[in-house]
Amino acid sequence: MRRDEDVPSIGEASHDPETRHWLTDEPLTEDRQRGSVARAEEMWRRGDSAPFVIADAATDAPLGLLNLQFGGDKEVAELAVSVFPQARGRGVASRALRLGAIWGLRELGLHRVFAETAAENVASVRAIERAGLRREGVLRAHCKTHGRRHNCVIFALVPEDFGEPHGSGFTSSL
């Protein structure tokens, strides 16, 4: 979960040009930063999403964000990840995506966890592939960023990807 001490790093990263290029979320102003932990806790309480800060195992420094988002079908969730500029290129996104997907499938009993990214976002495509999610296809003109429609690639994991039927209490090595 998010903590108050993580908010300045989250706010700073929300202004990063590379992040801004791929996401439509508005950068966090100082005013919006003040309520960000409470908003994340409320999303968790309502069951809309599971928002996490990705932290360095040795220092506990925030490295990025991972969010498992639930829509109308509570047996399916979408993974979204954003890695802060100083942590890019270290495999942070793929490890976080893998952990989030397995947690959703194993601990929450989800039937499907998926992630999608702009087809031209090569770094995200590679991170999702390294996380072990299976590429399912291209959704043409599916995504819209900064007023422009573009193709997105969709990836997913289901319990059967581990050789186990859903609900069998499968285990997986991370």
pLDDT in tens, 44-74: 888 889 999 999 999 999 999 999 999 889 8
Q: What pLDDT does 60 receive?
A: 92
Task: Supply the Cα-derived Rg of the chain in whole angstroms.
Answer: 16
Q: Could you give the angle at which helices 122-130 and 92-102 cross, rounded to 10 degrees?
A: 50
Instruction: Name the DSSP class of 103.
Output: I
Burial (0-12, 13-18, 19+ Cβ within 10 Å), 54: buried
Q: What pLDDT does 169 receive?
A: 45
Q: What pLDDT does 168 receive?
A: 47
Domain 4-162 has CATH 3.30.413.10: no
Q: What pLDDT does 137 receive?
A: 97
The amino acid that residue 86 corresponds to is Q
**Which residue's structure tokens are 């108050």?**
4
Three-state SS for 97?
A: helix
- Measured CA to CA, the distance from residue 74 to residue 108 in angstroms comes to 10
The amino acid that residue 55 corresponds to is A
Q: What tokens does 1 get? A: 């979960």
Residues of the chain with pLDDT under 70: 1-2, 21, 164-174
Q: Output the pTM of the full model.
A: 0.84
The answer to whether the beta carbons of residues 135 and 129 sit under 8 Å apart is yes
Q: What pLDDT does 101 receive?
A: 96
